[in-house]
Amino acid sequence: MLLLVLLLLLPLSDPWAVHGHPLYMRLPPSILQALSAHGTRALQAAQRSAQWTVNRVAMEIRHRLHECTGAGRPRPPAPLLQDPAEPGPCGERRPSSVNVTRAHGRIVGGSAAPPGAWPWLVRLQLGGQPLCGGVLVAASWVLTAAHCFAGAQNELLWTVTLAEGPQGEQAEEVPVNRILPHPKFDPRTFHNDLALVQLWTPVSPVGAWRPVCLPRGPREPPAGTACAIAGWGALFEDGPEAEAVREARVPLLSTDTCKRALGPELHPSSMLCAGYLAGGVDSCQGDSGGPLTCSEPGPRPREVLYGVTSWGDGCGEPGKPGVYTRVAVFKDWLQEQMNANPSSREPSCRELLAWEPPGEPPANAAPPCAFYARLCPGPAAACARLAHQQCLQRRRRCELRSLAHTLLGLLRGAQELLGPSPGMRRLAPTLARPALSLPEPPRHPAREQRLHPGSRAAGARFSKRRPEQRVEANGCPGLESLQQKLTTLQGTHAWILQVPAEHLAMDFHEVLADLGSKTLTGLFRAWVRAGLGGQHVVFGGLVGLEPATMARSLPRLLVQALQAFRLAALAEAEGARMGSRQSQGLGRKGHPPLSPQISPARGP
Ligand code: ARG
């Protein structure tokens, strides 16, 4: 893209001449604009990444605190890797919330549900941004749609927000430990659109949430049965997402009716339809992964999960009912996954990052490395050593997979910018304010994937962050190191986190190339003046003046600009600390245009 823009914009003009000889050349405004646009995007990515990195540790602290302060029953510090599929009662709704759901005239996305009406309904967030619904089927397991993870299968990026209580109690946000998409999920056809998500900590039985019941047999209730859908999805096709949970009652449709309505796109072996052929009542974008439950009559009625919201042709359109993944036919797969022995699975990144590797491999491979030792035919000690090595290797890969790397992959060398640097800790207290809201959240690929016109980007809301409490680390193992980690991260990322969202724009004011300074690689020394918010930096760099060399040189200028802003923020903080406002490399608002006499703040 940048290359294309460049090709269109060349040849350059505006050489600055002395005695008739061009000595300096200013890059034209169109190039500066392209640089600014890319710089702004890089800044946004850097802020999102920084925010997420900090929030992830803050969330771990909340969980550790929750465990240590004895809120709920005592819970193990590590994930409970096995729990029965249906611990205790399932599918029970609070009496006050039953009968609320009824059909409405036109409620694509549903009518408002009372708080706590669907205690198994959860929300899946990618980098803090809600993308899909999900259904709690056991203390540690959420069932959802596999398409929610298309292109984003890194469990470290996902969290699950549990249902809020009937009195509107604060919903709890739990990190995801593992994502298990159905192995036969087909992203083209949405065949087998189902995924299990394992929570990092099981939900507490004293909370407001309850698991739904899974079907006992492989069949659904007969066509015409009135079932319920719920979620935060769009209120109408291409409309905004709901602020609160919405619900609707929709009848199950027979396979024949459904096939007639949707044609060959319907794969009845893994899909079922529900809704009205007249249209008007349906799930919609953002409801994916949420529940389609039917009430099982009896002395104590139970809600049983028969469908997981998957796709539709638009939302609520006449003749186009909603399509749900048939949960009943996946019962064996679900049981198998939820009851699997932990050592039969490769350790997740979250498990490996929480693991403190011992200096020496232990005599017998213990969790999380036992997986790598299980097929090893050699003597136990040798196998344990091997498993330890494999664990370490994968742990390193996990570190690389963390969000900072993913988002900033687009910026060559940007990791370096975000690396810890001494002295930044001092900036940490400035971060005590609530997290910034971010412009332009990432679009979720799943939303663009199906070709039906209802596709839309997810809403731009971010979950509320609670201010961190400092609690005695005594008696809460691991808390102190987590708090230290948080302080370090806040300091490391302060330079970008401090910039209010509305000022998060990079402005390249001027790039002046010295025509007499051509290097062996065909680049020219240049002075660059750029602004971020009210701050300006001036730095030296190298720029190409031919299309190819220029395309090569611009990303580096972007990285240098980011670095310059980071150093400027550091210097300013340092300056403030020393009681002086003057800081190296930092200009003021309304900086005059560069002139050849101005020497660069730093050499190229
Ligand atoms: N695929 C959508 C999502 O990702 C769900 C669409 C449901 N559409 C429907 N008409 N029932 O949220």
Q: Which residue has the tokens 């997402």?
A: 241
* 286 Cβ closer than 6 Å to some ligand 1 atom: yes
CA dihedral 488, 489, 495, 496 (to 10 degrees): -170
Question: Cα(22) to centroid of ligand 1, in Å?
Answer: 61
* 325 Cβ closer than 6 Å to some ligand 1 atom: no
**Which span out of 251-255, 313-317, 506-510 was modeled with the highest average pLDDT?**
251-255
**DSSP run (H or E) holding 293:** strand 291-296
For the segment 160-178, the average pLDDT, to the nearest whole number, is 84
* 324 Cβ closer than 6 Å to some ligand 1 atom: no
Structure-token pair, residue 499: 């910039």
Crossing angle, helix 2-9 and helix 29-68, to 10 degrees?
A: 160
* 284 Cβ closer than 6 Å to some ligand 1 atom: yes
* 309 Cβ closer than 6 Å to some ligand 1 atom: yes
Q: Supply φ then ψ for residue 312, to 5 degrees.
A: -170, 165
Question: Is 504 within 8 Å of 537 (Cβ atoms)?
Answer: no
For the segment 479-501, the average pLDDT, to the nearest whole number, is 83
For the segment 319-335, the average pLDDT, to the nearest whole number, is 96
Q: Which of 243, 239, 311, 279 is nearest to 456 (CA)?
A: 239
For the segment 136-165, the average pLDDT, to the nearest whole number, is 90
Catalytic choice (63, 147, 444, 536)? 147
Which pLDDT score is estimated for 359? Answer: 84
Measured from the Cα of 324, ligand 1's closest atom is 11
Given a cut of 80, whether residue 528 has pLDDT beyond it is yes
* 288 Cβ closer than 6 Å to some ligand 1 atom: yes
CB atoms within 10 A of CB 60: 20
Which pLDDT score is estimated for 78? Answer: 37
The CA–CA distances, whole Å, from 424 to 313, 404, 472 equal: 51, 18, 25
Question: Cα(598) to centroid of ligand 1, in Å?
Answer: 58
Give the residue whose CA is nearest to atom 9 of ligand 1. Answer: 312
Choice between 234 and 420, residue whose per-residue pLDDT is larger: 234
Which pLDDT score is estimated for 126? Answer: 87
Which pLDDT score is estimated for 211? Answer: 94
SS3 at position 523: strand
- pLDDT (tens digit, 9 = 90+) per residue, 266-313? 999 999 999 999 998 999 989 999 999 999 988 888 999 999 999 999
For the segment 252-260, the average pLDDT, to the nearest whole number, is 97
For the segment 568-586, the average pLDDT, to the nearest whole number, is 65
Known catalytic residue at 313: no
pLDDT band with cut points at 50, 70 and 90 for residue 62 = confident
DSSP β-bridge partners for residue 513: 25, 526
Which pLDDT score is estimated for 228? Answer: 95
pLDDT band with cut points at 50, 70 and 90 for residue 15 = low
Question: Is 358 within 8 Å of 369 (Cβ atoms)?
Answer: no
Which pLDDT score is estimated for 66? Answer: 67
Question: Cα(197) to centroid of ligand 1, in Å?
Answer: 19
Mean of all residue pLDDT scores within the chain = 76
Residues 604, 601: Cα–Cα separation, whole Å: 10
* 144 Cβ closer than 6 Å to some ligand 1 atom: no
Q: Which residue has the tokens 């690389």?
A: 400
Known catalytic residue at 104: no
Q: Which of 48, 183, 205 is nearest to 125 (CA)?
A: 48
Choice between 485 and 95, residue whose per-residue pLDDT is larger: 485
Amino acid at 367: P
Question: Cα(194) to centroid of ligand 1, in Å?
Answer: 14
Measured from the Cα of 314, ligand 1's closest atom is 10
DSSP β-bridge partners for residue 527: 512, 540
* 261 Cβ closer than 6 Å to some ligand 1 atom: no
Which pLDDT score is estimated for 108? Answer: 64
For the segment 108-131, the average pLDDT, to the nearest whole number, is 84
The CA–CA distances, whole Å, from 151 to 77, 187, 442 equal: 30, 10, 12
Q: Is 222 exposed, middle or buried (0-12, 13-18, 19+ CB in 10 A)?
A: exposed
Residues 589, 247: Cα–Cα separation, whole Å: 52
The alpha helices in 519-588, defined as continuous H runs, are 547-577
Q: Tell which one of 287, 315, 452 to mutate to probe ligand 1, the residue whose CB is within 8 A of the most ligand atoms.
A: 287
Known catalytic residue at 193: yes
Name 144's Cβ contacts closer than 8 Å, sequence gap at least 6.
124, 132, 133, 134, 135, 194, 195, 196, 197, 288, 289, 308
- pLDDT (tens digit, 9 = 90+) per residue, 65-92? 766 765 433 343 333 333 444 445 899 8
Which pLDDT score is estimated for 474? Answer: 62
For the segment 520-527, the average pLDDT, to the nearest whole number, is 91
Question: Cα(88) to centroid of ligand 1, in Å?
Answer: 31
Given a cut of 50, whether residue 456 has pLDDT beyond it is no
Per-position DSSP letters for 28-71, written without gaps between them: PHHHHHHHHHHHHHHHHHHHHHHHHHHHHHHHHHHHHHHHHTT-
DSSP β-bridge partners for residue 230: 247
Measured from the Cα of 231, ligand 1's closest atom is 12
For the segment 411-416, the average pLDDT, to the nearest whole number, is 40
Give the residue whose CA is nearest to atom 6 of ligand 1. Answer: 311
Question: Cα(287) to centroid of ligand 1, in Å?
Answer: 6
Give the residue whose CA is nearest to atom 11 of ligand 1. Answer: 322
Share of the chain above pLDDT 90, in %: 37
Catalytic choice (38, 63, 111, 193)? 193
